[in-house]
Structure 1
Amino acid sequence: MPLEPLAVASVVTGALALGPVAGVLGFLALRRIRARGTRGRGLAWIGLALGVVGTLVLVGVLVGTALTARNQRPLPADVTAPREAHARQLVTGSCVDPLPTGAEVDAVRVVPCGDPHAAQVVTEYAFDDAAVWPGQAAADARVAASCDLTPTERDAGVRAVAWAPTAASWARGDRLGLCLATTDAGKLTGSFLDGTVHLP
Structure 2
Amino acid sequence: MERRQAERRFGDRRDLRRVGGALSWAPPAGYAEPYRAPGWQDPPPRREPLAVWALVSALVGLFPVALVLGVLTLRRTRSRGTRGRGLALAALVLGAVELVVAVPALVVALLAARSLQPLPVDLAAPRQAHARQLVVGSCLGQLPNDGVVDLVTVVPCDQSHVAQVVSTTQLSGSWPGQRAVDGAVADTCRLTQAQVQAGDRLVTWAPTRSGWRQGDRTGLCLRVDG
TM-score (norm 2): 0.68
Contact 1:71–1:88 (8 Å) recurs in 2 = no
Structure 1 unpaired stretches of 5+:
184-198
The aligned runs of 1:161-200 (5 Å cut-off) are 161-183=203-225
Does 2:177 correspond to 1:135? yes
Partner of residue 32 from structure 1, selected from 76, 94, 97: 76
CA distance in 2, matches of 1:117, 1:140: 25
Q: Who is 1:188 aligned against?
A: none
Shift of 1:164: 0.8
| Paired residue secondary structure (2:187) | helix
Superposed, which structure 2 residues align to 1:110-149 within 5 Å? 110-127=154-171, 129-130=172-173, 132-149=174-191
| Equivalent AA in structure 2 for residue 46 of structure 1 | A
Q: Percent identity?
A: 53
What is the CA RMSD across the aligned residues, in angstroms?
2.6
Structure 2 unmatched runs, 5+: 1-43
CA shift, 1:66, in A, is 3.5
Distance 1:133 1:18 in 2: 34
Q: Give the 3 Å change call, closer, same or farther, for CA 134–13 of structure 1 in structure 2.
A: closer
Residue 51 of structure 1: how far off its partner (Å): 1.9
Mean Cα displacement is larger for which, 47-56 or 159-168? 47-56
Q: Counterparts of 2:75 and 2:154 in 1: how far apart (Å)?
A: 55
Paired residue type of 1:125 = T
Larger radius of gyration: 2
Instruction: Using the TM superposition, give the Cα deviation of residue 62 of structure 1 relative to its aligned residue in structure 2, in angstroms.
Output: 4.5
> Which residue number in structure 2 is paired with residue 46 of structure 1?
90
What is residue 186 of structure 1 aligned with on the other side? none
- Could you report, residue by residue, the CA deviation over 1:72-96 in whole angstroms, capped at 9, with x for unpaired residues? 4322223222223221221111012
CA displacement at 1:111 relative to structure 2: 1.4
Opposite residue 66 of structure 2, the aligned amino acid is: A
1:19–1:58 Cα contact (<8 Å) kept = no
Number of aligned residues: 182
1:105 aligns with 2:178: no
Give the TM-score normalised by structure 1.
0.75
CA distance in 1, matches of 2:197, 2:218: 28
Residues 78 and 95, structure 1, Cα contact 8 Å, conserved in 2: no
Secondary structure, aligned partner of 2:147? coil
Structure 1 residue 29, shift from structure 2 partner: 2.2
- 1:24–1:51 Cα contact (<8 Å) kept: no
Q: Show the counterpart of 1:21.
A: 65
